[in-house]
Chain A
Amino acid sequence: MVLSGGIILFICALGTLVIPKRFLSQYCLLTTAFIFVMHWFLPQQGQFSFEFFGFDLELYVYHPLRQLVASAFSFYALIFFIYVFGEQQSRWFYFLSMMHVAAALSFLFVNDSLSFFIFWELIAVSVVLLVLEQGYHSLISTYFYYQMTSAVLLFIGIGITYSVSNSLQLAVVPAAYPFVILAVCIKMAILPFHVWMLETYPKVPPTLAVLLSGYGTKVGVFSLWLLLPNLKFEVIGGIVAVVAILYAFKQHSIRRFLSFHIISQIGYMIAGIGSLSTTSVTGAMLHIVNHIIYKGLLFMIAGILLTKFGTDNMLEIRGAGRRSPLLFVSAIVAAASIAGMPPFNGYFSKTLLTQDLSSITYYLLTIATVGTAISFSKFIHYTFLAQEKQLQTDVSLPVTWQITLISLSFTCLILGIGPALFWQPTVLEFKPLLTSGFAVFAGITLFKWKFEAIHHIAVLITPETASVSKKIAFIYGKAVIRLRGFHTGNIQDYLLWFFASFVLIWICMFLWI
């Protein structure tokens, strides 16, 4: 019997409800460190399955890629608990964030659709409860409706798969493709289903945004690999990467800007997984790992800037670089990683995942790389380099924040320089491609030369997303009012319906046989 780290973490999460409050942060730190060590150094072969409710559940199935992503998830949890070490948080906060991490971790190892679905929902539910716990009750509705729509579609897909194949296999049958693809698209927040992300990530407290950015969308990408192993959709990834960049150009709020960049990076991962080649899929998984690291770093920087300057509008912050060199350096590292500049980690995984792509996807991703470089040049320029505005702000950072910034920056560097040190890709031929390095330089140059024009073009060609969900809500509300009109409270009507239905059923039964 092999227990996955996620299940152990679930049990540990129950501990947060009973242990004394002053040891809570230490406790979470220790348990996540233990889980990280377990996933990183002691990968367990074998599997764990049992019968639940008449269905065979497989809670743990070993696969190197699953273990790789799990290591990243648990490492990020460890970093997160260092980040919140000094903060005053309630017991429920620790409990729910442990639950969130545990659900995401368990999710990575399952091999049947019932437990897959349970963890898929638990990830969303724990976020909703976390947001409620932080006092942002007005934010839960959009997030919850979108996530539940995704869960509903997935449930239908699983049901169809069950009725066709009579098994709870993860790979869905073709009849279920439309439902499952839509479900995963919502979970990954790719355009135009990104509204839930814009409603949570930029609006929740910075600490929570750091946690959410690590797991929420990555599980969607990972589930692509599990649910649709035979579908080739790499071009979609390229398009998503480019379009999201165009939207990112327009943003001035750092966290909205980062949210669009998440979507764009997810485009890379979709392209890698959708190419169906082992090399590219491995590259995409590595990109998930790298993305968690550098995007987490960026969200931490955004959170720190928000806490220190009281705003996350990059045009208002200006020139933070001179005040806090550490923040500046880590932002540079993160930006270089996300843009795919050698020798940082983004470069390695992007090179790997573009190995077997078709040429059109490859060019789309190159364009996206140039775009990423442009937009991060903008971020660095305004936030850290431009003329200072807020001179009196105190930018000294607590030790825990310094530790997290330094360790994540180093991880970016280490994962770029020596992936072979930590993880041996067995089937890969590593062909270094300098294209993305050139693309980054091209991007920076373009920013210096013609940013105004690019910004204008982006504003012109990206339509504001129409709120379809509001329209649906309106129609639903109208239908409800119409329906309520029938229920007048008039007993004659009710009796009439009843006897009419009696006659109708009788006729139906009689005619049908």
Chain B
Amino acid sequence: MNELVVFVLIYPLLFAVALQNRVGKENPYKVGITGIIMGILALVLLNNTLGKGEVIAYPVGGWGYLKGIVIAVDQLSLLLGGLIHFIGLITLLFSSKQFILKPHIFVSLVLLCIMGLNGMVLTADLFNLFVFLELASLVSYALVGYNKEAEGLEGAFKYVLMSFGGSMLVLWATALVYGISGSLNIVGAAEAVRQAPHFLQITIIVMYVSGFSVKAGLFPAHAWKADAYTAAPAPVGALLSGASSKVAIYALFRVLSVLFGWSMLSDMNLGVILATLGLGSIFIGHMLAFGQSRLKRLLTYSSIAHIGYIIIGLSVFNMLGTVGALFHMVNHGLLKAGLFYFAAVATENDEIGSLKGLFRRSPGLAISFVAMALGMAGVPPLNGFLSKWLIVMGAMEAGFYIHAAVIVIAGLMALFYYVPLVQIIFTPSDEKQVLVLERSQMCVIKTVVAISVVLFFIGNWVYPVFQEVASNLIYPDGYIDAILNLN
């Protein structure tokens, strides 16, 4: 069954190629959706073969972990993989009715993006990680500038420059690790890196942190995000902010936790620094989202703030915070994707003013928006509340009082820009024309709302799963052993 791992990695490539023939050009969305559903099935099968705390390590080509590339799957990678696939699926379902030029190219780009993100999640090889990171980034530039309008191209250009800086740092860090240990495998390099001089260790850590923080859009490398996501077509914004930035955070913490170990990281003050960056993200994101006139820009700033939540949750280095952060990745990815879809269908030209009177024109859409906005602000009974609660309690437990207080206050700051939006939506307008949505689009938005309500109520059953996932990140012994056992 372990060969399924390889299937998960390469199926998007197969489908992206298949999209270029006649059948693919005629039904691009159907082919793409079929591909993603197959990927989800593969993930489900993998999940079933994976026992509690087990790790599947698959040496590609049978080269062993020192020379060859190793793909390793545990619960954590499956969770992230599931998130990527789910958001990819609803993105394709949603945009299937959207007017996008040359849809077969669009769908194959989305598939390639999913492939890059998948690779980042599954690989246990540092250079491979860099390659997949670059693949995902390259495809993202193309997706951001997809409409070939001036604004999109500008956003894509800024994205390219910033992202290049980040990739460069990641590559340097990888080179340093290779120089120290002579291995590109995370596990193979870990021992030598842990005994390396302090100076080099810190340089590696800071390079990884800075490099991945660009991809995640963490303060102070956040600024490209607003231009890029605003200019991108709304489904692309959903995919990038829902999945792509989370995967960057995942990669950062996975690499650091295997290379250095959780306890060493928390001794290094890394937590304080990362949490402070998170604090900056929260303030910048929520404050700049206030008073925006364009919905997608507002949502982008809000997602910068939520990256701050996740980073704080992870950088307090305890169980509660980690579980909260991982849960928040899922919640935020889901709700933010839903809000981007809302922006695509409810506004004209992305102007917030055009939302006026939406409640009369489409009550279902308006109510969904209220629910999603409340979820983003962390108000019960929606899933956003639970993850926020966990992160705050984790931060309080670890003694990060100010950070916890800021996350709490951030809920209020989020309301400062969501409440005016709700008021605009409920203001009656002269326009009487009913807003008719495609059935699949409405269905996607309602599904997002339903899942976020359900996640609140089944939190009890979700919690142990997330606890297991978090222990995969905190105690990477199983991961290390599985790879060491290959030779």
Contact = CB atoms under 8 A, between A and B. Distances in A.
Are A and B bound to each other? yes
Interface of A: 50-54, 114, 117-118, 121-122, 125, 129, 132, 135, 137-138, 140-141, 144-145, 148-149, 151-152, 155-156, 159-160, 162-163, 166, 476-477, 479-480, 483-484, 487, 489, 491, 493-495, 497-502, 505-506, 508-510, 512-513
The 9 A-B pairs at the shortest CB distance, nearest first, are namely: A137-B426, A163-B396, A159-B396, A502-B210, A494-B223, A497-B220, A506-B206, A498-B221, A118-B380
B161 interface: yes
B165 A498 contact: yes
Nearest to B397: A163
Nearest to B390: A53
Contact of B268 (A117, A497, A509): A509
Nearest to A125: B379
Given A53-B390, A513-B269, A480 B287 contact: yes
A498 B408 contact: no
Contacts of A512: 269
A302 B173 CA distance: 72
A389 to B, nearest CB: 34
A480 B226 contact: no
A499 B380 contact: no
A487 B222 CA distance: 10
Contacts of B396: 159-160, 162-163
Contacts of B392: 155, 159
Given A53-B390, A160-B401, A121 B288 contact: no
A495 B161 contact: yes
29 contacts: A51-B460, A53-B389, A54-B463, A114-B389, A118-B385, A121-B379, A129-B370, A145-B415, A156-B405, A162-B393, A162-B396, A476-B287, A480-B288, A480-B290, A480-B291, A487-B226, A493-B223, A494-B158, A494-B223, A495-B162, A495-B165, A497-B221, A497-B223, A506-B206, A508-B269, A509-B273, A510-B202, A513-B198, A513-B269
Interface stretch (B49-57, B125-133, B237-245, B417-425): B417-425
A509 B412 contact: no
B275 to A, nearest CB: 12
B192 interface: no
Contact of B420 (A121, A141, A477): A141
B427 interface: yes
A contact patch SS: helix
A149 B416 CA distance: 11
B244 to A, nearest CB: 18
Contact-residue size bin, chain B (C-beta under 8 Å from the other chain): 35 or more
B287 A152 contact: no
Contacts of B393: 159, 162
A498 B162 contact: yes
Contacts of B405: 156, 159
Contacts of A151: 411
Given A159-B405, A495-B161, 16 more contacts: A53-B386, A118-B381, A148-B377, A152-B411, A476-B287, A483-B288, A484-B288, A494-B223, A497-B221, A499-B165, A501-B210, A501-B221, A502-B210, A509-B202, A513-B198, A513-B269
B467 interface: yes
Contacts of A477: 290-291
Contacts of A117: 380
Contact of A53 (B157, B203, B273, B460): B460
Given A53-B463, A494-B224, A497-B221, A141 B419 contact: yes
Contact of A501 (B220, B270, B386, B426): B220
A166 B318 CA distance: 14
Contacts of A500: 220
A169 to B, nearest CB: 14
Contacts of A53: 386, 389-390, 459-460, 463
Contacts of A487: 223, 226, 288
B259 interface: no
A145 B288 contact: no
A163 B396 CA distance: 5
Contacts of B223: 487, 493-494, 497
Nearest to A510: B202
Contacts of B138: none
A233 to B, nearest CB: 24
A493 B227 CA distance: 14
B399 interface: yes
A477 B287 CA distance: 9
A498 B397 contact: no
B409 interface: yes
A125 B290 contact: no
A148 B411 contact: yes
B380 A121 contact: yes
B281 to A, nearest CB: 12
B311 interface: no
A144 B412 CA distance: 9
A141 B423 contact: yes
Contact of B426 (A132, A144, A491, A508): A132
B480 interface: no
B334 interface: no
Contact of B273 (A140, A152, A498, A508): A508
Nearest to A144: B419
Contacts of A137: 422-423, 426-427
B284 interface: yes
Nearest to B165: A498
B158 A122 contact: no
A262 B410 CA distance: 31
Interface string B181-214: 0000000000000000011001101110110001
Contact of B206 (A140, A156, A505): A505
Contacts of B365: none
Nearest to B415: A148
B157 to A, nearest CB: 8
B301 to A, nearest CB: 10
A476 to B, nearest CB: 7
B463 A479 contact: no
A82 B85 CA distance: 51
B115 interface: no
Contact of A163 (B161, B169, B389, B399): B399
Contact of B214 (A166, A484, A498, A505): A498
A141 B399 CA distance: 33
Contacts of B390: 53
B5 interface: no
B404 interface: yes
Nearest to B290: A480
Contacts of A114: 389
Contact of A52 (B205, B288, B460): B460
A119 to B, nearest CB: 9
B23 to A, nearest CB: 42
A201 to B, nearest CB: 19
B408 A505 contact: no
- Of A163, A499, A513, most B-chain CB atoms within 10 Å: A163
Given A114-B389, A138-B423, A163 B401 contact: yes
- Of B169, B220, B270, B386, most A-chain CB atoms within 10 Å: B220
B210 A498 contact: yes
A141 B374 CA distance: 14
B353 to A, nearest CB: 16
Interface string B274-304: 0001000000100110110000000000000
B162 A494 contact: yes
- Of B207, B380, B415, B422, most A-chain CB atoms within 10 Å: B380
A179 to B, nearest CB: 9
Contact of A145 (B158, B161, B207, B419): B419
Contacts of A52: 459-460
B315 to A, nearest CB: 13
Contact of B412 (A122, A152, A484, A508): A152
